[in-house]
Amino acid sequence: MTDLFSPIKLGDIALSNRIVMSSLTRNRAGAGNAPTDLVAEYYGQRSSAGLILTEASPICPEGHGYPRTPGIHSREQIEGWKKVTKAVHDAGGKIAIQLWHVGRISHPDLQPNGALPVAPSAIRPEGQAITYSGMKDYVTPRALETIEIKALAGTYAKAAENAMEAGFDGIEVHAGNGYLLDQFLRSSTNRRTDEYGGSRENRARFLLEVLDSVCSKIGNGKVGIRLSPVTVFNDISDEDPQGTFEYVVNEINRFDLAFLDLLQGTGGAPQDQWLPFDYDRLRAIYKGNLILNNGYDYDSAAREVASGKADAIAFGRLLLANPDLVERFRRGASLNAPDYERLYSGEEKGYTDYPFLAA
Ligand code: PHB
pLDDT given at position 132: 94
Concatenating the DSSP letter of every residue in 18-47 gives SEEEPP-------GGG---HHHHHHHHHTT
How remote is the CA of residue 290 from the centroid of ligand 1, in Å?
Answer: 21
pLDDT given at position 93: 98
| Overall pTM surpassing 0.75 (yes/no) | yes
In this prediction, residues 292-313 reach a mean pLDDT of 98
pLDDT given at position 280: 96
Domain boundaries along the sequence of the chain? 55-299
Q: Does the beta carbon of 66 sit less than 6 angstroms from any atom of ligand 1?
A: yes
Q: Inform me whether the pLDDT recorded for 359 exceeds 80.
A: no
pLDDT in tens, 250-281: 999 999 999 999 999 999 999 999 999 999 99
Q: How far apart are CA 204 and CA 252, in angstroms?
A: 10
pLDDT given at position 244: 98
How remote is the CA of residue 25 from the centroid of ligand 1, in Å?
Answer: 6
pLDDT given at position 29: 98
Per the prediction, the chain carries an average pLDDT of: 98
Question: Which fold would CATH assign to domain 55-299?
Answer: TIM Barrel (3.20.20)
Q: Does the beta carbon of 25 sit less than 6 angstroms from any atom of ligand 1?
A: yes
pLDDT in tens, 36-47: 999 999 999 999
Q: Inform me whether the pLDDT recorded for 3 exceeds 90.
A: yes
Residue whose CA is at the smallest distance from ligand 1 atom 6: 56
In this prediction, residues 107-133 reach a mean pLDDT of 98
- Burial code (b: 16+ CB inside 10 Å, e: under 16) for 212-233 equals ebbbebbebbbbbbbbbbbbeb
pLDDT given at position 47: 98
Maximal C-alpha separation, the chain: 61
pLDDT in tens, 17-37: 999 999 999 999 999 999 999
Is-contact 56 69, C-beta < 8 A?
Answer: yes
Residue 128: CA count within 13 A, CB half-sphere:
8
Concatenating the DSSP letter of every residue in 154-189 gives HHHHHHHHHHHHTT-SEEEEE--TTSHHHHHHSTTT
Residue whose CA is at the smallest distance from ligand 1 atom 7: 177
How remote is the CA of residue 146 from the centroid of ligand 1, in Å?
Answer: 26
The single-letter code of the amino acid at 94 is K
Q: Which CA distances in Å does 281 have to 64, 277, 304? A: 34, 9, 15
Q: How far apart are CA 122 and CA 143, in angstroms?
A: 5
Of 6, 10, 8, 93, residue with least CA distance to 47: 93
Residue whose CA is at the smallest distance from ligand 1 atom 3: 25
To test the ligand 1 pocket, which listed residue (57, 98, 233, 293) has its Cβ within 8 A of the most ligand atoms? 233
Catalytic residue among 42, 138, 156, 179: 179
Q: Does the beta carbon of 110 sit less than 6 angstroms from any atom of ligand 1?
A: no
Q: Which atom of ligand 1 is nearest to the CA of 263?
A: 10
How remote is the CA of residue 302 from the centroid of ligand 1, in Å?
Answer: 26
Query: Within 10 Å of residue 133's Cβ, how many Cβ atoms?
Result: 7
pLDDT in tens, 154-195: 999 999 999 999 999 999 999 999 999 999 999 999 999 999
Residue whose CA is at the smallest distance from ligand 1 atom 2: 25
Confidence of residue 224 (pLDDT cuts 50, 70, 90): very high
pLDDT given at position 303: 98
How remote is the CA of residue 267 from the centroid of ligand 1, in Å?
Answer: 9
pLDDT in tens, 55-72: 999 999 999 999 999 999
- What DSSP element (H or E) covers 313? strand 312-315
pLDDT given at position 135: 98
pLDDT in tens, 89-100: 999 999 999 999
Q: Are strands 142-143 and 170-174 parallel, antiparallel or unpaired?
A: unpaired
Is-contact 96 168, C-beta < 8 A?
Answer: yes
Beta-bridge partner residues of 20? 51, 314
Q: How far apart are CA 328 and CA 322, in angstroms?
A: 8
Q: Is 247 labeled as catalytic in the residue annotation?
A: no
How remote is the CA of residue 266 from the centroid of ligand 1, in Å?
Answer: 11
To test the ligand 1 pocket, which listed residue (66, 128, 173, 177) has its Cβ within 8 A of the most ligand atoms? 177
Q: Which atom of ligand 1 is nearest to the CA of 100?
A: 6
pLDDT given at position 34: 98
Residue whose CA is at the smallest distance from ligand 1 atom 1: 25
Q: Does the beta carbon of 70 sit less than 6 angstroms from any atom of ligand 1?
A: no
pLDDT given at position 353: 98
pLDDT given at position 1: 80
